[in-house]
Amino acid sequence: MAAPRAPRLFLGLPAPAKLNLFLHVTGRRADGYHQLQSVFVPLSLADVLDFELTDDGRIERSGDLVGPLEGDLVLRAAQALRAASGTALGAAIHVDKHIPAGSGLGGGSSDAATTLIALSRLWGLDWPRQRLAALATSLGADVPFFLGAGPAWVEGIGERLTPLAVPPAHYLVVHPQVHVSTREIFSDPGLTRSTKPLRIEDFSAAAGAVGNPTGVRALFGANDLEPIVRRRVPEVEAVLKSLSRFGPARMTGSGSAVFVPLVSEQEASAARATLMQESPGWWSCIAEGLDEHPLGVW
């Protein structure tokens, strides 16, 4: 019997968004990078990517694009994997964006990770995730997370990941449609860079004690970047004030998206309806926290 043919086409692969349940800046390295602690949770909100094999080594990128093509993380990820593997194959990649750009939800990093996962299979490399992670780190601090299996305790500059159980929740996510520069926020002289590190055991114990979906609210800590963004970006301040009526509103990443965990999809829908009537110019969605990455064992 002939061996099965390798696939030439992958359609509709998800690249999920993420939330930071908290984000602490615990120090700064000699090379200027900041030491962080956070909990990342993947979301049902996702970009969607299509991949088609090309035999002539061409890498083509189509669909929604944020910023210049030469800086696109999907293109950079594909080129990095091709160079590292030495393959003569290429791919046509189409990106359908659903995650707002510049929101702190990790869309670009997630697109890059899905690209590494998909092309590893499409090109017949079948690299394990640990090997892909070396390339992922060179593309961006958040990219390794999106190669993982699900929620994670994150340390270092984002490269040290420990799987973590997080209670389920529905999140109302709101983006005021303004861009926040991560570089400018981390360079702000008012940024706290000496938050006392937490212990993963304490967080895990709190998570294990949660007996219902609302318990995720007890797991929230501060986002050390949030006071800087609130001072510099009034639109984020406005969203935080508005969302705080419904629960413990937090900014994710370096902004500008803000989220609040809610008991159910129905409660989230009611809060969203109220919010959108008051501020129709804001982008919003209801997303479920995932206990595993949709491509975690793919």
User: What pLDDT was estimated at residue 238?
Assistant: 97
Query: For the ranges 2-11, 157-166, 234-243, which has the lowest average pLDDT?
Result: 2-11
Between residues 222 and 210, which one has the greater pLDDT? Answer: 222
Where residue 1 falls among pLDDT bands split at 50, 70, 90?
very low
User: What pLDDT was estimated at residue 216?
Assistant: 58
The gap from C-alpha 210 to its chain's centroid, in whole angstroms, comes to 24
pLDDT (average), residues 7-31 = 94
User: What pLDDT was estimated at residue 2?
Assistant: 47
Is 196 known to be catalytic?
Answer: no
Where residue 4 falls among pLDDT bands split at 50, 70, 90?
low
- pLDDT > 80? residue 214: no
pLDDT (average), residues 106-131 = 97
Between residues 210 and 76, which one has the greater pLDDT? Answer: 76
Determine the Cα–Cα distance for residues 35 and 50; give it in Å rounded to an integer: 35
Q: Share the mean pLDDT of the chain.
A: 91
Determine the Cα–Cα distance for residues 293 and 278; give it in Å rounded to an integer: 34
pLDDT (average), residues 76-87 = 98
Asked if residues 148 and 165 have their Cβ atoms less than 8 Å apart, the reply is: no
Out of 47, 72, 111, 142, which one is annotated catalytic? 142
- pLDDT > 50? residue 81: yes
Is 241 known to be catalytic?
Answer: no
- pLDDT > 70? residue 217: no
pLDDT (average), residues 42-71 = 93
Q: Is the dihedral of CA 206, 212, 218, 224 positive or negative?
A: positive
65 token code pair: 């694009």
User: What pLDDT was estimated at residue 213?
Assistant: 46
User: What pLDDT was estimated at residue 108?
Assistant: 95
Q: What is the pLDDT of residues 239-274, one digit of tens each?
A: 999 999 999 999 999 999 999 998 899 999 999 999
- pLDDT > 60? residue 74: yes
* Percent of the chain surpassing pLDDT 70: 93
Out of 18, 50, 111, 224, which one is annotated catalytic? 18
Query: For the ranges 218-227, 230-239, 246-255, 285-294, which has the lowest average pLDDT?
Result: 218-227
- pLDDT > 90? residue 208: no
